[in-house]
Amino acid sequence: MSRTAKFTLMGSLFTTTLIVWGVHYMQQSERDTMYQGVLRDDERRKQKMKQREEDLQQSLEKRELYERVQSVSNPAPGPTSSR
């Protein structure tokens, strides 16, 4: 095998190895980035649920306060359906 053929073979093997490693590195990097998005979404969802619970608690406290201050009569019956 000639020296030129050996250099060509080694160069193509090195280039192929480098390309395969680069593709795997990029895939892992993208996978990590996407997983960070999942973690951010989970944190956002937890914060939203916490805020909703706080809003519900405030609403219940306001209702209790208003019911103590003013009298509440029985609510009117809901709409009746006519058949």
Tokens of 64: 């209790």
Output the pLDDT for position 68: 87
Pick the more confident residue, 15 or 64.
15
Q: Return d(Cα 42, Cα 33) in angstroms, integer.
A: 15
pTM of the model: 0.53
pLDDT in tens, 7-59: 999 999 999 999 999 999 999 999 999 999 999 999 999 999 999 999 999 99
Phi and psi at 78, nearest 5°, equal -70, 170
Per-residue pLDDT band at 79 (split at 50, 70, 90):
low
N- to C-terminal Cα separation, the chain: 96
Tokens of 23: 């593709």
Among positive and negative, which fits the CA dihedral 15, 20, 23, 24? negative
